[in-house]
A = this chain, B = another copy of it.
């Protein structure tokens, strides 16, 4: 399975006049400084003006722009958030944030993980200033769901960044290659082939994410 699934569009090229790209291009990275320097308020306004674009900022202050996810990915993302939300509500110690949230990480990158969870005790420590606008905190737990427009190397770099900025657990779920990548700080990445489910132990006690809806899409 692995070798074939690494290049998911390659099969179609033989019958087509122009080959599709082996891998998606990934986000468009727009360098702004020194031509334009955005204030936090301008950046928030920019996000509000462009609800369809997934807009992030890397640690170098460059805008990273991604097209909207396809229907497929969006449905899976919603399912993951529902599972995490159900557990978090019963657990009670933390809050779940949807992909439209913006987190300003300690390295100044602005990121919007597909699903995230933050301990209430950490949220309570934020000043009013840090709560307003983008949340100036790194989530304790993040999930990134690779969509067909996401370049794997780019998402992996993003997972590394979460770990370097204070996340305690991260899952990169890749429906294109049917794999899950488990990230913990200062630990080698663990890659699982088509796992039925993932356990959040010990960081998220009692949380189990059912991955069957990811590997076998509903439509």
Chain A: residues with CB nearer than 8 A to chain B? 5, 8-12, 15-21, 25, 28-32, 34-36, 38, 42, 45-46, 49-50, 53, 65-68, 70, 72, 148-149, 175-176, 178, 215, 217
Pair B8/A32 contact, Cβ less than 8 Å: no
Q: Within the assembled complex, what's the spacing in Å between the Cα atoms of A45 and B176?
A: 38
Q: Within the assembled complex, what's the spacing in Å between the Cα atoms of A171 and B21?
A: 25
Cβ distance A46 to chain B, nearest Cβ, rounded Å = 5
Pair A70/B21 contact, Cβ less than 8 Å: yes
Instruction: Choose among B19, B65, B176 the residue that contacts A72 (Cβ–Cβ < 8 A).
Output: B19
Cβ distance A51 to chain B, nearest Cβ, rounded Å = 10
Residues of the B chain whose Cβ atoms lie less than 8 Å from the Cβ of A215: 17
State the copy count for this chain. Answer: 2
Instruction: Choose among B25, B31, B46 the residue that contacts A149 (Cβ–Cβ < 8 A).
Output: B25
Q: Within the assembled complex, what's the spacing in Å between the Cα atoms of A96 and B133?
A: 49
* Closest CB pairs A-B (n = 8): A12-B12, A35-B45, A25-B67, A31-B49, A35-B46, A11-B12, A28-B65, A35-B42
Residues of the B chain whose Cβ atoms lie less than 8 Å from the Cβ of A217: 18
Residues of the B chain whose Cβ atoms lie less than 8 Å from the Cβ of A5: 16-17
Q: Within the assembled complex, what's the spacing in Å between the Cα atoms of A5 and B12?
A: 12
Dominant SS among interface residues on chain A? loop
Pair B11/A35 contact, Cβ less than 8 Å: no
Pair B30/A53 contact, Cβ less than 8 Å: yes
Given known pairs A12-B9, A65-B30, the reply for A36 and B35 (CB within 8 Å) is no
19 extra A-B contacts, CB within 8 A, seeds A21-B148, A31-B49? A5-B16, A8-B20, A9-B16, A11-B11, A11-B12, A11-B15, A12-B12, A17-B176, A18-B148, A18-B175, A18-B217, A19-B72, A28-B53, A28-B67, A29-B53, A30-B65, A31-B50, A32-B46, A36-B36
Q: Within the assembled complex, what's the spacing in Å between the Cα atoms of A12 and B36?
A: 42
Residues of the B chain whose Cβ atoms lie less than 8 Å from the Cβ of A38: 36
Pair B9/A9 contact, Cβ less than 8 Å: yes
Q: Within the assembled complex, what's the spacing in Å between the Cα atoms of A215 and B46?
A: 41
